[in-house]
Structure 1
Amino acid sequence: MKTNSCTEDTLIGTQAEGAHDEERHLNKPVVTGQLKEQTLKDPQLPVRWYGPIFNPSGYASEAIDFLLPLKARLNIGLKHQNPVYSEKFVEGLAPSVRENLFDMRNRFDSLNGGITVDHNPANGFLRPPDADYCIGRTMYETDRIPPQWVAACNRMDEIWVPSHFNVETFANSGVERDKLIVIPGSVDSNFFDPRKHEILELPNKASYNFLSIFEWSSRKAWDITLAAYLREFSAADDVCLYLRTYQFSRPDGDPAEALWREIREFAATLDLGNREWPRIELLTEQVASNQLPCLYKAADCLVGISRGVGWGR
Structure 2
Amino acid sequence: MNKPNIVLRAPVFSQSGYGAHSRDIAISLWNSQKFNIAILPTQWGGSTNTADTIPVKDKEVLLFMCNNVIHKYVPFIFVHVGIPPEFTKVGNLNVGITAGLESNKIPKEWVDKCNLMDLVIVPSNFQRDVFKNSGVTTKIAVVEEGVDTSIFNNNPVNSDVFVYKLLDDLPCEKNLLGVGQWLQGGIGEDRKGIGLLLNLFVKTFENNKKVGLVLKTQISNNSSYDYYHVQQRIKSIKGNALYPKITLLHGNLTDEEMAIVYKHPKITGFVSLTSGEGWGRGIAEAVACDLPVAVTGWSGHMHFINPKYFNVIDFDLKPVSKGALSTGFFTPDMIWAYPNIEDAKKKIKDLIDNEEENRKKAKEAGEIFRKSFSKESTYSKLIDLFSNLSQSLISKSSLGNILTLDKV
1:124 lines up with 2:86 in the alignment: yes
Shift of 1:136: 0.5
1:201 lines up with 2:165 in the alignment: yes
In structure 2, the partner of 1:303 is 271
1:223 lines up with 2:195 in the alignment: yes
Task: Decide which of 114, 118, 134 is 1:173's aligned counterpart.
Answer: 134
Structure 2 vs 1, CA of residues 193 and 108 (structure 1 numbering), >3 Å: closer, same or farther?
farther
In structure 1, the partner of 2:104 is 143
Q: Structure 1 stretches of 5 or more lacking a match?
A: 1-41, 269-273
Structure 2 vs 1, CA of residues 88 and 45 (structure 1 numbering), >3 Å: closer, same or farther?
closer
Asked if structure 1 preserves the Cα contact closer than 8 Å seen for 2:127 and 2:278, the reply is no
Shift of 1:275: 6.0
> Relative contact order (alpha carbons < 8 A, sep ≥ 6): 1 or 2 greater?
1
Asked if structure 2 preserves the Cα contact closer than 8 Å seen for 1:56 and 1:86, the reply is yes
Asked if structure 2 preserves the Cα contact closer than 8 Å seen for 1:210 and 1:303, the reply is yes
- Count the aligned residue pairs: 263
Q: Amino acid of the residue matched to residue 152 of structure 2?
A: F
Question: Residue deviations 1:70-114, cap 9 Å, x none?
Answer: 203221122222255866621011111211221221215657641
Q: Amino acid of the residue matched to residue 53 of structure 1?
A: V
In structure 2, the partner of 1:255 is 226
Cα distance in 2 for partners of 1:285, 1:164 equals 32
1:59 lines up with 2:21 in the alignment: no
Structure 2 vs 1, CA of residues 259 and 163 (structure 1 numbering), >3 Å: closer, same or farther?
closer
Shift of 1:158: 0.7
TM-score by length of 1: 0.76
Asked if structure 1 preserves the Cα contact closer than 8 Å seen for 2:15 and 2:48, the reply is no
Question: Residue deviations 1:132-174, cap 9 Å, x none?
Answer: 1000111222221111100110111111112222222111111
1:245 lines up with 2:245 in the alignment: no
Q: 5 Å matches for 1:49-128?
A: 49-72=8-31, 73=33, 74-82=35-43, 84=45, 89-107=50-68, 113-128=75-90
Cα distance in 2 for partners of 1:152, 1:208 equals 47
Shift of 1:225: 0.4
Structure 2 vs 1, CA of residues 92 and 189 (structure 1 numbering), >3 Å: closer, same or farther?
same
Task: Decide which of 94, 100, 108 is 1:134's aligned counterpart.
Answer: 94
Cα distance in 1 for partners of 2:77, 2:4 equals 8
Cα distance in 1 for partners of 2:14, 2:223 equals 9
Q: Which structure carries more helix by proportion?
A: 2
Q: Amino acid of the residue matched to residue 173 of structure 1?
A: S
Q: Amino acid of the residue matched to residue 228 of structure 2?
A: E
What's the secondary structure of 1:231's corresponding residue? helix
Asked if structure 2 preserves the Cα contact closer than 8 Å seen for 1:92 and 1:290, the reply is no
Question: Residue deviations 1:11-57, cap 9 Å, x none?
Answer: xxxxxxxxxxxxxxxxxxxxxxxxxxxxxxx7611111112211111
Cα distance in 2 for partners of 1:43, 1:146 equals 40
What's the secondary structure of 1:224's corresponding residue? helix
Cα distance in 1 for partners of 2:156, 2:3 equals 36
Cα distance in 2 for partners of 1:103, 1:229 equals 46
Q: Amino acid of the residue matched to residue 163 of structure 1?
A: S
What's the secondary structure of 2:191's corresponding residue? helix
Cα distance in 2 for partners of 1:154, 1:114 equals 19
Asked if structure 2 preserves the Cα contact closer than 8 Å seen for 1:252 and 1:286, the reply is no
TM-score by length of 2: 0.59
What's the secondary structure of 1:144's corresponding residue? coil
Shift of 1:120: 0.6
Cα distance in 2 for partners of 1:100, 1:196 equals 29
- Aligned alpha-carbon RMSD (Å): 2.4
Shift of 1:252: 4.0
Asked if structure 2 preserves the Cα contact closer than 8 Å seen for 1:159 and 1:179, the reply is yes
Q: Amino acid of the residue matched to residue 202 of structure 1?
A: L
Cα distance in 2 for partners of 1:43, 1:213 equals 44
Shift of 1:59: 1.2
What's the secondary structure of 1:220's corresponding residue? coil
Cα distance in 1 for partners of 2:94, 2:12 equals 19
Question: Residue deviations 1:253-273, cap 9 Å, x none?
Answer: 4523222222222345xxxxx
Q: Amino acid of the residue matched to residue 145 of structure 1?
A: I
What's the secondary structure of 1:184's corresponding residue? coil
Q: Amino acid of the residue matched to residue 171 of structure 1?
A: K
Cα distance in 1 for partners of 2:195, 2:249 equals 17
In structure 1, the partner of 2:378 is none
Question: Residue deviations 1:227-252, cap 9 Å, x none?
Answer: 2210121444322211111122x344
Cα distance in 2 for partners of 1:82, 1:75 equals 23
Structure 2 vs 1, CA of residues 260 and 159 (structure 1 numbering), >3 Å: closer, same or farther?
same
Asked if structure 2 preserves the Cα contact closer than 8 Å seen for 1:56 and 1:251, the reply is no
Q: 5 Å matches for 1:8-27?
A: none
Q: Structure 2 stretches of 5 or more lacking a match?
A: 184-189, 282-408
1:184 lines up with 2:155 in the alignment: no
Cα distance in 1 for partners of 2:37, 2:246 equals 44
